[in-house]
């Protein structure tokens, strides 16, 4: 919701994270917080499988190239993120469409009906179920590159604890920092993805088309910090995750 807002003059603008929670609850009820939950639930298993399986495969392939270990982890992460993005993008299109709909939960179409409507009006390509693919490639590619590169390098530097509780905290802490840093670095791609996949400012006119052009438009019209909209809820979700 934060990422599709076009500045303070936008009628759907939220003043803060707390204001966003209150507004959604008042207008859309408790179930408003669970809009679009089915697509990510359906995507989660294949997404995780593709992420970690392809990361290991790319890591093996890079073993034939004389790269420093740190760089190899980052490049393998980039490859896994790009592959993962192709799998999850159709689910993201449906999810964003549902989440940006401000009608009550009961008034919304189901995920399957929404997907059918998207395919009917835009097809399976860049105007339909694969809208915003380049931005999704950037989002997942950059996130996984930073995450895997940072996590595995730092994990190998910090000594292992014999105490299982301390060892858990060590890995959790490294993962938390990795996810937070990756979220901060990749969020401009996330903002671009939300603008492309979400509702356009003028119905019937496509303002946000491609990833980097969308970033440039947001920067020009709303300033540099607009590329970091929604950073706090993103970190709250992906850091611990």
- Within 8 A by CB and 6+ apart from 134, the residues are 210, 211
Return d(Cα 125, Cα 128) in angstroms, integer: 5
Return d(Cα 161, Cα 107) in angstroms, integer: 52
Q: Which residue has the higher pLDDT, 99 or 185?
A: 185
pLDDT tens digits for range 206-220: 899 899 999 999 999
- Tell whether the model's pLDDT for residue 1 goes beyond 80: no
- Tell whether the model's pLDDT for residue 224 goes beyond 80: yes
What number is the average pLDDT over the span 171-184?
92
The domains of the chain are located at 2-239
CA dihedral 236, 50, 198, 106 (to 10 degrees): -80
pTM: 0.83
Which secondary structure element, helix H or strand E, spans residue 143, and what is its range? helix 133-157
> How does 218-238 read in b/e, with b if 16+ C-beta sit within 10 Å?
beeebeeebbbbbbeebbeeb
pLDDT tens digits for range 45-64: 888 899 999 999 999 999 88
DSSP sequence for 45-75: HHHHHHHHHHHHHHHHHHTTS---HHHHHHH
* The pLDDT value given to residue 6: 66
3 state SS of 136 = helix
CATH code 1.50.40.10 for 2-239: yes
pLDDT tens digits for range 84-102: 999 999 999 999 998 888 7
């Amino acid at each position: 919701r934060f990422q599709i807002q076009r500045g303070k003059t936008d009628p759907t603008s939220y003043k803060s994270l707390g204001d966003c929670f209150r507004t959604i609850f008042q207008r859309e009820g408790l179930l408003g917080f669970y809009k679009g939950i089915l697509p990510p639930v359906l995507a989660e298993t294949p997404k995780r499988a593709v992420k970690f399986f392809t990361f290991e495969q790319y890591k093996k392939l890079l073993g034939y190239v004389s790269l420093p270990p740190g760089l190899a982890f980052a490049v393998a992460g980039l490859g896994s993120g790009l592959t993962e993005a192709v799998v999850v993008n159709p689910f993201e299109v449906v999810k964003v469409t549902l989440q940006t709909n401000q009608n009550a939960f009961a008034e919304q179409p189901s995920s399957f009906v929404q997907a059918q409507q998207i395919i009917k009006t835009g097809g399976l390509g860049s105007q339909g179920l694969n809208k915003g693919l380049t931005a999704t490639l950037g989002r997942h590619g950059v996130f996984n590159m930073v995450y895997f590169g940072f996590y595995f390098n730092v994990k190998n530097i910090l000594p292992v604890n014999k105490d299982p509780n301390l060892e858990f905290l060590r890995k959790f802490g490294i993962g938390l920092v990795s996810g937070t840093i990756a979220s901060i670095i990749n969020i401009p791609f996330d903002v671009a993805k939300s603008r492309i996949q979400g509702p356009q400012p003028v119905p019937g006119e496509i303002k946000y088309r491609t990833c980097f052009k969308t970033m440039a438009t947001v920067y020009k019209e709303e300033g540099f910090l607009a590329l970091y909209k929604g950073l706090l809820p993103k970190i709250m979700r992906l850091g611990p995750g």
